[in-house]
């Protein structure tokens, strides 16, 4: 699909028909989304596909009431996390990247980047993670739309380690977004966009 057309066709949808999305589709969507750029190519994201009925029910208890129906009805639910152990993520890239990385890249991921990450102040690290999660989130909703499904991004839930406990996810991962997706007869409506002269300057 043409990129501009894809963007113009993607809108938040909060009502789904409940029909399960095949897991293979969800995996392919995540694979496509994970091509997103990230600072230092750190790829500090972690996806959990919530297929267990029991885990989705427990997750619902942590979602604000106004958002629960869309999570219940969704054909699939993805919870998106940030990896807060950036130094370890960096070394992991070095281990797994192997022959695909140059000597300079290996030095960066094995040594330079871990030292840099370990010196991050808490607020700076939080902002760093949030920027990366924004990049992957945008790619994710566009990939979902490209596969013919609708979606929404939910921030309205208790973003605590209880989410990790429910989904049995290591606590190094910080819960960021819940993404319900599925088929829907509801078509999202375009939202107002500021005119270009309010968001762009030429100097």
Cα three-residue angle 132-124-180, rounded to 5 degrees: 35
Contact 17, 195 (CB under 8 A): no
Task: Identify the band that residue 1 occupies on the pLDDT scale cut at 50, 70 and 90.
Answer: low
- Domain of 40 in residue numbering reads as 3-84+127-188
Is residue 101 assigned to a domain? no
Is residue 132 assigned to a domain? yes
Share of the chain above pLDDT 70, in %: 100
Is residue 109 assigned to a domain? no
CATH of the domain at 167: 3.40.109.10
Is residue 152 assigned to a domain? yes
| pLDDT tens digits, one per residue of 93-139 | 999 998 899 999 999 999 999 999 999 999 999 999 999 999 999 99
| pLDDT tens digits, one per residue of 70-82 | 999 999 999 999 9
| pTM for this model (two decimals) | 0.95
Is residue 62 assigned to a domain? yes
C-alpha distances out from residue 167 to 43, 48, 73, 88, 156, Å: 21, 8, 19, 21, 18
Is residue 115 assigned to a domain? no
Is residue 61 assigned to a domain? yes
Beta bridge partners of 80: 47, 177
- Domain count across the chain: 1
Is residue 75 assigned to a domain? yes
Contact 8, 145 (CB under 8 A): no
Please, which residues have CB within 8 angstroms of residue 1's CB and are 6 or more apart in sequence? 9, 146
Separation CA 104–CA 39 (nearest Å): 17
- DSSP-based helix, strand, coil % in the chain, nearest 5: 50, 15, 35
């Amino acid at each position: 699909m043409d990129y501009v057309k894809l963007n113009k066709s993607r809108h938040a949808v909060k009502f789904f028909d409940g029909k399960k999305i095949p897991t293979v589709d969800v995996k392919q969507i995540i694979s496509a989304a994970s091509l997103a750029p990230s600072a230092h190519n750190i790829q500090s994201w972690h996806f959990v596909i919530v297929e267990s009925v029991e885990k989705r029910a427990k997750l619902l208890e942590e979602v604000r009431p106004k958002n629960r129906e869309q999570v219940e009805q969704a054909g699939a639910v993805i919870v998106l996390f940030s990896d807060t152990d950036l130094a370890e993520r960096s070394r992991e890239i070095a281990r797994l990247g192997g022959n695909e990385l140059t000597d300079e890249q290996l030095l960066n991921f094995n040594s330079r980047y871990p030292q840099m990450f370990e010196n991050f102040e808490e607020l700076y690290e939080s902002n760093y993670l949030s920027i990366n999660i924004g990049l992957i989130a945008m790619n994710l909703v566009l990939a979902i739309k490209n596969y013919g499904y609708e979606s929404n991004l939910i921030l309205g839930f208790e973003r605590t380690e209880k989410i990790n406990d429910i989904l049995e996810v290591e606590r190094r991962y910080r819960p960021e977004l819940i993404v319900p997706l599925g088929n829907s007869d509801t078509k999202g409506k375009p939202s107002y966009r500021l005119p270009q002269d309010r968001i762009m300057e030429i100097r």
